[in-house]
Structure 1
Amino acid sequence: MELSNLQHRLIERLRDGLPLGKHPYADIANDLGATEETVIETLEQLIAHKVINRFGMIIRHRALGYQANAMCVFDIGDDAAPDIGKAMAALPYVTLCYRRERVAGVWPYNLYCMIHGRDRLTVRAQIRHLFARLELHDAPHKVLFSKQCFTQRAGKYGAPRASVSLPAPTETRAIPDEVREIS
């Protein structure tokens, strides 16, 4: 789908989320020099063409008392991974679940899930439940608890707001192929 100027501007405007107010679409329309009706119609077009598939919130889980989280990584057979991934994603405490390619000799894991909880004991109990429910006790795996959060934000898609100049590298080194594969 080729996006119109208004569609591009609307997507750009939504990058930081909906404005907090009684009439968020009217506020957006005012910012874009459009009508509220036009903004809503444009959003409906973007949804109909699956450019936008949902609106959601980002909740700062630490502010709500969820202090522990763990990324669980598994080496699951390629034939079983889609079904196990779907079952994992259906568990209420799994907040993120995805499959990636392995990197031979570097990283053997291909199925990932994130679990958040108020404390490590809760997260560990949820992990035990996941292993029992999906019969994963024999699956090679790692449980990686977070130590420190440096950022948490939604993905930013579309044209960048302003060009960013990166500093020239001070040292040039070849990047091994396996790094390119996993980045």
Structure 2
Amino acid sequence: MSIDATDRQIIAATQAGLPLVPQPYAAVAQELGLGESELCDRLRAMQKSGVIRRIAVAPNHYALGMLANGMSVWDIEDERIADLGPQVGALEFVSHSYERPRALPDWPYNLFAMVHGSDRDEVEAKRQEVATLLGAACRGSDILYSTRILKKTGLRLRSKEG
């Protein structure tokens, strides 16, 4: 997968979010000297090829009152993780979930799921919901609570090569 200079400019212009205007795609297209339909076609093509994963709203969970956040970690039977991982990721209170290799003997966990709540008690209750869903396939778990935000963005491209 590769992108040309125009695709790179589109990514750079949209990676921090679309402008909050009635016609955001038209505004970005105008800024880049493109037609709106060309911009949308290129975005769809980049999404289809896997260059971009999605175009979505990313709410600020702190502004929504979700002040407690914990990365729950789970030791799941290898033969069950492909089935159970997506079920955990689909829970409304899990913002992201992924499989990672274990680092034995110190780190037995292979499923990670970020859980949000208004306080730690709520996060613990939601963590229990995950544990119930995982059932006997879960051999252990822990949770790492956020204490501060260090970075809240994904990869950022510069608009020019180099």
Identity of aligned pairs, percent? 32
Q: Between 140-149 and 64-73, report the one with greater CA deviation.
A: 140-149
Distance between the aligned counterparts of 1:36 and 1:138, measured in 2?
49
**Change over 3 Å in CA distance of 1:145–1:161 after alignment to 2:** farther
Distance between the aligned counterparts of 1:150 and 1:91, measured in 2?
25
Match of 1:143 in 2: 143
**Change over 3 Å in CA distance of 1:38–1:132 after alignment to 2:** closer
Q: Between 56-65 and 46-55, report the one with greater CA deviation.
A: 46-55
**Change over 3 Å in CA distance of 1:80–1:40 after alignment to 2:** closer
Match of 2:43 in 1: 43
Aligned-residue offset at 1:62: 0.9
Gaps of 5+ in 2: none
Distance between the aligned counterparts of 1:44 and 1:137, measured in 2?
38
- How many residues align structurally? 162
Gaps of 5+ in 1: 164-183
Normalising to structure 1: TM-score of the pair?
0.76
Q: Do the aligned partners of 1:102 and 1:108 also contact (CA within 8 Å) in 2? A: yes
Distance between the aligned counterparts of 1:136 and 1:144, measured in 2?
22
User: What's the C-alpha RMSD, in Å, of the aligned pairs?
Assistant: 2.4
Aligned-residue offset at 1:121: 1.6
Aligned-residue offset at 1:4: 2.6
Match of 2:33 in 1: 33
Q: Between 4-13 and 114-123, report the one with greater CA deviation.
A: 4-13
Alignment of structure 1 residues 93-132 onto 2, 5 Å: 93-132=93-132
Larger radius of gyration: 1
Q: Do the aligned partners of 2:76 and 2:138 also contact (CA within 8 Å) in 1? A: no
Distance between the aligned counterparts of 2:12 and 2:20, measured in 1?
17
Normalising to structure 2: TM-score of the pair?
0.85
Distance between the aligned counterparts of 2:138 and 2:42, measured in 1?
50
Task: Give the number of the structure whose residues are more often strand, by fraction.
Answer: 2
Match of 2:64 in 1: 64
Deviations 1:120-146 (Å, cap 9, x if unpaired)?
121111112221232159622112222
